[in-house]
Chains A and B, each alone.
Chain A
Amino acid sequence: QKEVEQDPGPLSVPEGAIVSLNCTYSNSAFQYFMWYRQYSRKGPELLMYTYSSGNKEDGRFTAQVDKSSKYISLFIRDSQPSDSATYLCAMSASGAQKLVFGQGTRLTINP
């Protein structure tokens, strides 16, 4: 079993919808949680960076971490066609520097 599980999709939603992307993990030592967006043929781009449990909002994006359930989410409000990409969750343990990534969810926003 992988340390980080992420549904690869694909996920297709209409423009303007609220998108929910999720990851589960098994390592209780994970303390730092990130979401990256990766466009086709590009490198991952950091979207959200959070520590421990709670919510963080940045524009149309909200990241949630529930450590008791070992579950993290990324919500995208008012989704746009330009949001079409693969979304990767990543996490690391306190004191550790390497990131452990999920498989990525491929998202398409249809105009």
Chain B
Amino acid sequence: GAGVSQSPRYKVTKRGQDVALRCDPISGHVSLYWYRQALGQGPEFLTYFNYEAQQDKSGLPNDRFSAERPEGSISTLTIQRTEQRDSAMYRCASSQLAGTSGEQYFGPGTRLTVT
């Protein structure tokens, strides 16, 4: 398909384990965003990239969270030493241009459950 894809779609992990969530943006999109969405809430910004450069990571909750986009395409969001409060839907979005928010297109999300 031509949309944003994310994997895995569902991830159940035990507290203390590390997890890696993957996002494959729309082909040619320069900017890639990570958001987290709690049930009944709107998405909350985590971090974003223009090409391979991480531009803003102000939304990452703490230093257990990190993200990378080494070749300016696929991105990985890593959560180390997971805690139950990390359980949420993690959403990725991409947009064609950098410099403004632009039209951001979202993927289906990864539902993370920490037990």
Residues of A within 8 A of B (CB): 4, 6, 8, 32, 34, 36, 42-46, 49, 88, 90, 92, 94-104
Contacts and interface: CB of A to CB of B under 8 A. Distances in A.
Contacts of B45: 98-100
B91 to A, nearest CB: 6
A83 B59 CA distance: 32
20 contacts: A34-B101, A42-B108, A43-B4, A43-B106, A44-B106, A45-B106, A46-B104, A94-B100, A95-B100, A97-B50, A97-B55, A97-B100, A97-B101, A97-B102, A98-B48, A99-B101, A100-B45, A101-B44, A103-B40, A104-B41
Contacts, number: 70
Q: Which of B33, B44, B106 has the most CB of A within 10 A?
A: B106
Interface residues of B, number: 29
